[in-house]
Amino acid sequence: MTTLAIVGAGPGVGAAVARRFGAEGFDVALISRTSARLDALAAELAAEGIRARGFAADVTAPDSVAVALNRAADVFGPIDVLQYSPSVDRRFLQPVLETDAEDLDAALGFSLFGAKVAVDTVLPGLRAAGRGTVLFVHGGSAVRPRADFAGTSIAFAAASAYAQTLHEALRPEGVHVAQLIVPGAISEDDPVTNPGAVASRLWELHERRDTFRAFHTQPV
């Protein structure tokens, strides 16, 4: 079996990605803050024939993410695919003139430092195997900064730079790092931007392994 770990697993894109990869035979480690919600999602997936389990962690406390990923590896075996896509906190969507240093520190901790710890936890196994994938999911402000969304604009840009440098450094070793930019809202009712469509695009990035950055839809 191969194992997918989703940091930021929720009922939208996280659940859809779990189903998409689970349909391909992946075991799924679900990581987010709330144990009860994780257990409920794991039960839904199990009813669909997907082996899944929740591991509670908070990306603002990165050590807890490392613990959760290590526990997941103990249960399922080495992590083959890591997705980092925690839901954005509303406090990071403030105008730049109302954003202070503490706000930016929190946004960077959420988007960059949590990602760094997650990657560092699984990377030794990926490099030893000479294969695997790391997927980052970011909003449009990662590439087009917005004055009204200062926290995500700045923190996503930093996380994007980290992800792209990882892509370049790890490509010769067979480890693929990719970023999916999802401009705008994800809507259950939209045939293009629904969670299942986003999950299919992430599966494509994992399978094709031919590019670092892809846009789910073009930014406006």
Residue 49's CATH number? 3.40.50.720
Q: Tell me the average pLDDT of the chain.
A: 91
Q: To 10 degrees, what angle do helices 35-47 and 13-22 make?
A: 40
CA–CA separation, 52 and 29 (whole Å) = 6
Tokens of 75: 């249960």
131 part of a folded domain: yes
Tokens of 32: 């987010």
220 part of a folded domain: no
Half-sphere exposure in the Cβ direction for 1 (13 Å, CA): 19
Q: What is the pLDDT confidence band of residue 220, given thresholds at 50, 70 and 90?
A: very low
Q: What pLDDT is recorded for position 1?
A: 65
Lowest mean pLDDT segment, chosen from 60-64, 86-90, 100-104: 86-90
Q: What pLDDT is recorded for position 218?
A: 61
Q: Which residue has the higher pLDDT, 59 or 165?
A: 165
Give the count of domains, the chain.
1
**At residue 219, does pLDDT exceed 70?**
no
Q: What pLDDT is recorded for position 191?
A: 67
For the stretch 119-150, pLDDT in tens is 999 999 999 999 999 999 998 888 898 898 88
For the stretch 154-195, pLDDT in tens is 999 999 999 999 999 999 999 999 999 988 666 666 667 788
Tokens of 161: 């730079």
- Contact of 6 with 14, CB cutoff 8 Å: yes
Q: What pLDDT is recorded for position 152?
A: 86
Domain carrying residue 170: 2-215
169 part of a folded domain: yes
- Contact of 155 with 111, CB cutoff 8 Å: yes
